[in-house]
Every structure is written in C-alpha cells, then in structure tokens.
Structure 1
C-alpha cells in the first residue's frame, strides 16, 4: 500500500515540476542579457528558465520542426514573420522588445581611421578578410544592406568569411582571423578584445528590432516570463548591455 501512495505522490509532483520549467530560444546577440534576465526571473519567481542561443534563422527552423521551445526571441522581424506564417507562434503575444546598432570592429590594437561614407575606400583600407554572417542570418542581411548602401559590397563580398552567427563572427575578429568585422553594438560591448571603428548610419540598413513571442503550445509559465521581458527590471538589463529598449 505504501508503494501505491508513493507512486501517486510522484505522479502529482512531476507535472508541477514540469510546469515550473520553461525553454527560451533566443538570438545569439541576446545571450548575456537574456542569461541575466533568466537568472533574475528564476530567483524571483522560482521558475527554471532553460535557454538556447543561436542564429534566429536556425532557431526558427528548429521551432518549425517541433523543437520544445516556449518563448522565441528573434534578431529581426523576418524570422518571427516566418513562424507567424506557419502558425507556430501565438500572434497576440508578439511584441518588439528592443533595438540595436550595427558596428564595424577590428582586433584590439589594430584599429584604423574609418569614415562611413561613399567617398571612403573601405576595401582598400585593410588587407585580408572581413567577417560577418551568412545571408540567412539577420546580421548577414543587415551587413549586406549597409555595405551596398555605401557602395562597398561588390568589392568586399569575395573577401567575406561568413560565420553561422554573430558571436562566431565576433570570435573571428577577437582571434585576429579577420581584419575587420560587422557585428551588433551589444556584441562589441561585451568584448575587451575588439575595438569599434565606426557605427553604421541607421538609414543604411533595415531597423534592427528584436521581437519576442510565445510558441504555440507553450507552458502557462512562459506567459509570465514574456511579460517580465517587458518589465522595468528587464529593461535595465537590456540597457546595460547596450540595447535600445522599446517602450
């Protein structure tokens, strides 16, 4: 009889434990901020937040294929729109959390003067390869847009070392494997191994926005975390890492 009561007790406990654990899929550029926010939320609410960081494109494809995510945070509108079109997110939960900037970086100690204007010859200002991301990744698309607007894309495309996500691109430049790179301002901010050469004009590329939404079938606890992402506490963390909070 005691064994029966023990089994019943376990059946009652397991669903409660599972309900207090959520999984967040977030774009690689949000890594530090989301880790801090998840830790704070877990401490205050007692909900375990598991995180997975990668390129927004890769995460969106995983969600489309049934990966067990509760919340998705993208680095652009395109991949959130993609999942919306596949009916993989809760439409009414979608919101834009913050924005970012695009910057040109070089390894620490190897900076050189740069003017982000068409009259400047960026391709001739450095030797070797430069790094950003593949075109399916938001930062790769923003980079092409910015370089095209300034008239440099055609000359620089053959010298591109394409990384799978922005943190990998940052690492290439940190190690000196690329002379320059294009990353988000927030990524450059968390590294002491690179220097920012210039910030691309906002009108040279599409706005860098980070939408978040609940994934279809998300656990009830996920709604609270999504709401927390829009709180003043989360906003302070986003701002600390260099994001522009959308109110």
Structure 2
C-alpha cells in the first residue's frame, strides 16, 4: 500500500468517526407516542348520568385516557374492591364505605376528597294524589314503599334513618320492598310497582314519570356525601389522580350541578 492509499484510508476512517458522533445530534429523535390508559371507575349508581356526561369532556383534553364505569350500590362496590376486583377509583354515596377501605389500607394516601352532596326525597308516580307527606305512608291504601337495601345501599341507609326518626318505621316495615341500588328503587316507582319510594333528589330529577312529595329534613339522617379516592392496587395511579382532580374542576362541577348535585 503506497502513501496516497494510506492517507485515503485514514481520511475515510476519520470521516466515519465524526459522522458517527454527529448524526445522533443532527438527526431528530422521533417523539414517543403517549401510551393509552384505561381507567376503571367504580361509582355509586346515582352518579351514572353525570359521570357519563363528564367522560367525553375529559377525553377532549386527554384523548389517550379511556374511562370505563362500574356502577352499583356503594356497599357492593366496596366489597368487590376488598375482594381484589380491579378498580382505579372508587366514588361512594356515603362515607362509611370509603372509611372501610381506608382503614384496610386500600386507598392511595392523600387522594381522598369529597365530590358532592345530595338530598333524600320521597317520590310517587305522577298520577298519585293520595300521598302528601311521609306520614301518609302509614295509610292502608299505600301497599308498597321502595327503598334501597340498607346493608349495602347508602340511600337505603338514609331512608332507614328517616323512617325511624319520624317514628313510622314499625308501621311501614311490612310494606317495604328493597332495591339493590337506588336506580332500582326509582324504576319501581316509575313502573307503579311501588306506591312511593325514597331516592336522591338527583334520581328524581332525571325522571319524568315521578314527582317529589317532600325532601327529608337533613337532621333526620347522616350527611349525604360522595367521597372518592384512588385505589392503591391501581396500575394507573398518576392517571387516576389526574381524573380525580378533574372531577373537582369547574367543568365537572357544572355537570354535577346540572343533575342536581350540591357542590362547593
């Protein structure tokens, strides 16, 4: 190999070396696509309409986040989570269920907050003119009164408290029919299968088949609060925290107000 060939080879080697260093600096690195996340929210049945309306509003700003809801009685949802069922967020219609999960260490610390409040009301089918107060429930013409199952449905727990505080529980207990969630109670009154029912004001608001007779005095039952928190077993804790934060934002609050929830 002569001197000219040797210099040429050295030149090629030097050029290749500098190209190897420079190319990563001048070649744009493709942006990493944001990963898709699916959040499972276990929520009280009374929140169904409001949360379903909130979902597309949230996804406008977070298109990579899919929200799936599991609606039911708060007590049943609590038991599902305790037994290991998947859930990223829990929203209860009462404090007791979230307290139980917190005491068992199943919540992400610092994520618990209150979403909204509600009122308990006595409803009847639109064509009913005989019932004008809670005390009319003792009348012999009233045969069935629908309410939630007190052991698992917060609306049923509140109804139980009201009937006992008013001193009429023993007189009406033989008439009581129980729903597995508050929407079943609403459906029983809408269909005429019950002469009256105790539901949340927000449930009555979405129906054109029932009317509110009276709201229960709040001194007769525990405060109706909807606490929410991120579940510790969630595989998407950062995304779940963001959605919980959004539920406390003005866009979400406006939807909750539209459906009759009380928000601060």
Q: Over residues 93-129 of structure 1, what are the superposed CA-to-partner deviations in whole Å (9 max), with x where a residue is unaligned?
A: 000111000000011211435235xxx4431174211
Structure 1 distance, partners of 2:76, 2:68, is: 17
- Unaligned ranges ≥5, structure 1: 1-11
Match of 2:220 in 1: 204
Out of 161, 183, 208, the residue aligned to residue 199 of structure 2 is 183
**Post-superposition shift, 1:234?**
0.6
Structure 2 distance, partners of 1:168, 1:113, is: 21
Match of 2:179 in 1: 163
Match of 1:45 in 2: 62
Match of 2:160 in 1: 144
Q: Over residues 30-78 of structure 1, what are the superposed CA-to-partner deviations in whole Å (9 max), with x where a residue is unaligned?
A: 0001111122112221111011100000111111111111110000000
SS of the equivalent of 2:202 reads helix
Note if contact 2:162-2:220 (Cα within 8 Å) is conserved in structure 1.
yes
TM normalised by structure 2 equals 0.83
Spell out the pairing of 1:130-141 with structure 2 (5 A cutoff).
Answer: 130-136=145-151, 137-141=153-157
Are 2:43 and 1:26 aligned?
Answer: yes
TM normalised by structure 1 equals 0.89
Q: Which stretch shows the higher mean deviation, 214-223 or 186-195?
A: 214-223
Match of 1:3 in 2: none
**Post-superposition shift, 1:23?**
0.8
Distance 1:85 1:228, change over 3 A: same
- Compare CA radii of gyration and give the structure with the larger one: 2
Match of 2:99 in 1: 81
**Post-superposition shift, 1:29?**
0.5
Question: After TM superposition, which residue ranges in structure 1, 4 or more long, deviate above 4 angstroms?
Answer: none
> How well do the aligned residues superpose, as a CA RMSD in angstroms?
1.6
Are 2:239 and 1:221 aligned?
Answer: yes
Note if contact 1:39-1:49 (Cα within 8 Å) is conserved in structure 2.
no
Q: Over residues 125-179 of structure 1, what are the superposed CA-to-partner deviations in whole Å (9 max), with x where a residue is unaligned?
A: 7421110011111111100101111111111111110110000010001000000
Q: How many pairs were matched up? A: 229
Note if contact 2:144-2:177 (Cα within 8 Å) is conserved in structure 1.
yes
Match of 2:113 in 1: 95
